[in-house]
Amino acid sequence: MQLRHRKKLPPFGKELAEKLQSDNPPWLVIVCIGRDCWRRARHWQKNPSVWALVMPASESPLGFIWQVAALYILIDWDLGPTHKQIIHLVKVLLVAGAEQVTVRPCWVDINEPAFEYDASRPVNCRWVQIREQIMIYPGLKRRNGDVSA
């Protein structure tokens, strides 16, 4: 007999469930992942209009129940998780119904260029990405052309 792993809420998910039922639910949910994610989540939770969850980098986002339908999500990404892990998390959140997912790599200086021109490369490949950048992924409803609520 094989035991199936039961899905659970992510850290701080129970509190989010309660807040979503309140008269003043958060309009933004921050998912902290990577270095110092627990401290960062607690810092975000001081703002009454948002809520923060923790995504342990050592676990799969598929193991959690994400209560993010129709919510805007900010992934607060610090050192540790790979780009592949972040993209997997984005996909899971979009499938769970997130309205939009924004990925913010914390260690990046956004004042530095994200792309560099390399004249030695073929004409259609001369702009080369040289650092991570903030990325915004629209919800699946919008991506498919359905903008109805």
At 143 the pLDDT is 59
Q: Which two tokens stand for residue 119?
A: 């004249």
Q: Which CATH class is domain 13-143?
A: alpha beta
In one letter, which amino acid is 106? C
Sorted by where each begins, the domain ranges of the chain are: 13-143
Instruction: Please write the tens of the pLDDT for every residue from 55-114.
Output: 999 999 999 999 999 999 999 999 999 999 999 999 999 999 999 999 999 888 778 888
- pTM attached to this predicted model: 0.84
Instruction: Please write the tens of the pLDDT for every residue from 15-54.
Output: 999 999 999 899 899 999 999 999 999 999 999 889 999 9
Q: Which residues, 6+ apart, have CB-to-CB distance to 55 below 8 Å?
A: 10, 31, 32, 33, 37, 61, 64, 75, 89
**E strands, the chain, where?**
28-33, 50-54, 72-77, 100-105, 115-117, 127-129, 135-138
